């Protein structure tokens, strides 16, 4: 049953004045925002440039709830007259409806910003951002909060929109909230109980004018912190440490390279360490890769910092148990299976060069690497050092194919896969021998050939056993 809501924050005056709110993007987040606005008594116009089969049922359902929905385009004049525009996380900042709103001086906020104003102060949250690892850390934090005994959920950038939770009658005590740079850009009131920055690396250079602009949006997670706030940051990332050095509040750090931190990895003894004590043996932690050890340290430190009950002996045992039973989200170094002696690994979530570097570095078999999709601005030559001794061949494909070929030819064997995923996988099969691995870690977004990285990964998974 939905809660009875009173319009708050940027939309507080709209209901009384009879003004309309506009929602740009009618996916799951946009639909949740539209429903929250309607529940708060605000008239809503929601629009989406798309008009596919996936959107039509959602639009029809919203219409039955009194929400005006337009698919296949936007009424720019109507958006320019709105009292506020709520933007879905997947909508680029330079699309016509957002330009129209800016030119008319209409405030633009994220779905997260809207939801934060409609959640009571009793609901606390751990805010998590970073270039790579944030989805896994968000899921881990939610599991560890629950393991310690609090009512917790994960929400945000991937998964449940925060507005869906804000509509519920029964609210969690804690939320593990994943925040992308795009969401942070339009969420001025964000102030988590614990702010987590996993790492920083070049990404989204197809949507940002330069790297500094991207990093500045990540910085926004910390802008409202005060002397009582806690931040959890990566001691091994010089850019993270530089950018967070002057942030107010208590700094907690994690590392897989050094020991002078609050959470670290003892590689010699193979133990994950927390607050100077052993937390979990590496052999008991089920996820592949050193980067997932870092993710586990991050999540454990965040929950340890947030909850006094996590600092007791029983609390530490519960944290260890939560990590021991953790199952990684799909499409992240996911072992699909071994067929004809070849191990197939789905790392479709690796949508930037930094994420692919991590995946390649963890490969223990000769690897055929599938690299391509929609280019995001970083040279693929930045992969060469980790490819040496690990990658036996690359299959380049999609819109980025020519760039991949240009950057890697002469350093590693490169085959062209074109724009057919069937052809890409056929080439990979032909290149792989028993004992090898085929790794989908594209270093690109999926939008040239698929609707999203999940669809790309699911297609890879389905075709692997053919």
Owner of token pair 């789905």: 346
| Catalytic site includes residue 74 | no
Which residue among 74, 134, 331, 376 is the active-site one?
A: 134
Per the annotation, does 136 bind a ligand? yes
Per the annotation, does 130 bind a ligand? yes
Cβ–Cβ < 8 Å for 398, 404: no
Per the annotation, does 90 bind a ligand? no
Which residue among 74, 118, 199, 204 is the active-site one?
A: 204
Owner of token pair 């698919």: 71
Cβ–Cβ < 8 Å for 450, 460: no
Per the annotation, does 132 bind a ligand? yes
| Catalytic site includes residue 151 | no
Please name the residues in contact with 170: beta carbons below 8 A apart, sequence gap of 6 or more.
none
Which residue among 74, 157, 234, 291 is the active-site one?
A: 157
Per the annotation, does 392 bind a ligand? no
CA–CA gap between residue 249 and residue 44 (Å, rounded): 39
Per the annotation, does 349 bind a ligand? no
| Catalytic site includes residue 134 | yes
Per the annotation, does 457 bind a ligand? no
Per residue, the 3-state secondary structure of the chain, as one string, reads CECCCCCCHHHCCHHHHCCEEEEECCCHHHHHHHHHHHHCCCEEEEEECCCCCCHHHHHHHHHHCCCEEEECECCHHHHHCCCEEEECCCCCCCCHHHHHHHHCCCCEEEHHHHHHCCCCCCCEEEEEECCCCHHHHHHHHHHHHHHHCCCEEEEECCCCCHHHHHCECCCCCEEEEECCHHHHHCCCCCCCCEEEECCCCCCCCCCCCCHHHHHHHHHHHHCCCCCCCEEEEECCCHHHHHHHCCCCCEEEEEECCCCCCCEEEECCCCEEEECCEEEEEHHHCCCCCHHHHHHHHHHHHHHHHHCHHHHCHHHHHHHHHHHHCCCCCCCCCEEEEEECCEEEEECCCCCCHHHHHHHHHCCCCCEEEEEECECCCCCHHHHHHHHCCCEEEEEEECCCHHHHHHHHCCCCCEEEEECCHHHHHHHHHHHCCCCCEEEECCCCECCCCCCCHHHHHHHHHHHHCC
- Residues making up the binding site: 130-136
- Residues making up the binding site for ATP: 130-136
Residues with active-site annotation: 134, 157, 204
């Amino acid at each position: 049953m939905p809660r009875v809501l009173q319009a708050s924050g940027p939309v507080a005056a709209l209901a009384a004045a009879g003004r309309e709110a506009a929602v740009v993007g009618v996916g799951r987040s946009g639909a949740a925002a539209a429903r929250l606005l309607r529940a708060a008594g605000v008239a809503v116009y929601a629009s989406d440039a798309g008009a596919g089969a996936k959107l039509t049922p959602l639009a029809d359902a919203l219409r039955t709830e009194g929400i005006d929905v337009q698919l296949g385009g936007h009424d720019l004049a109507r958006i320019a007259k709105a009292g506020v525009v709520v933007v879905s996380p997947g909508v680029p900042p330079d699309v016509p409806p957002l330009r129209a709103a800016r030119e008319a001086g209409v405030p633009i906020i994220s779905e997260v910003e809207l939801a934060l104003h409609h959640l009571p102060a009793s609901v606390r949250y751990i805010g998590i951002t970073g270039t790579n690892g944030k989805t896994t850390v968000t899921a881990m934090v939610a599991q560890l909060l629950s393991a310690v005994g609090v009512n917790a959920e994960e929400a945000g950038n991937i998964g449940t929109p925060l507005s869906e939770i804000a509509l519920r009658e029964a609210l969690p005590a804690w939320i593990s909230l994943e925040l992308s740079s795009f969401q942070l850009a339009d969420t001025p009131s964000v102030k988590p109980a614990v702010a987590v920055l996993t790492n920083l690396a070049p990404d989204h250079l197809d949507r940002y004018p330069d790297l500094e602009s991207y990093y500045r949006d990540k910085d926004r997670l910390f802008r409202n912190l005060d002397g009582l706030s806690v931040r959890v940051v990566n001691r091994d990332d010089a850019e993270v440490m530089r950018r967070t050095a002057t942030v107010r509040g208590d700094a907690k750090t994690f590392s897989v390279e050094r020991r002078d931190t609050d959470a670290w990895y003892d590689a010699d003894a193979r133990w994950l360490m927390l607050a100077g004590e052993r937390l979990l043996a590496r052999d008991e932690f089920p996820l592949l890769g050193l980067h997932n050890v870092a993710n586990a340290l991050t999540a454990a430190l965040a929950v340890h910092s947030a909850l006094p009950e996590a600092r007791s002996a029983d609390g530490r045992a519960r944290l260890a148990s939560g990590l021991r039973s953790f199952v990684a989200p799909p499409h992240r170094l996911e072992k699909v299976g071994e067929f004809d002696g070849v191990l197939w690994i789905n790392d479709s979530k690796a949508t930037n060069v930094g994420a692919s570097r991590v995946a390649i570095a963890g490969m223990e078999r000769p690897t055929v690497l599938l690299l391509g999709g929609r280019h995001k601005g970083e040279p693929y030559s930045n992969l060469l050092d980790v490819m040496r001794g690990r990658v036996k061949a690359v299959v380049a494909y999609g819109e980025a194919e020519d760039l991949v070929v240009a950057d890697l030819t002469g350093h590693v064997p490169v085959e062209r896969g074109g724009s057919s995923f069937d052809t890409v996988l056929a080439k990979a099969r032909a290149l792989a021998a028993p004992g090898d691995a085929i790794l989908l870690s594209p270093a690109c977004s999926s939008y040239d050939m698929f609707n999203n990285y999940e669809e790309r990964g699911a297609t890879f998974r389905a075709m692997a056993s053919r």
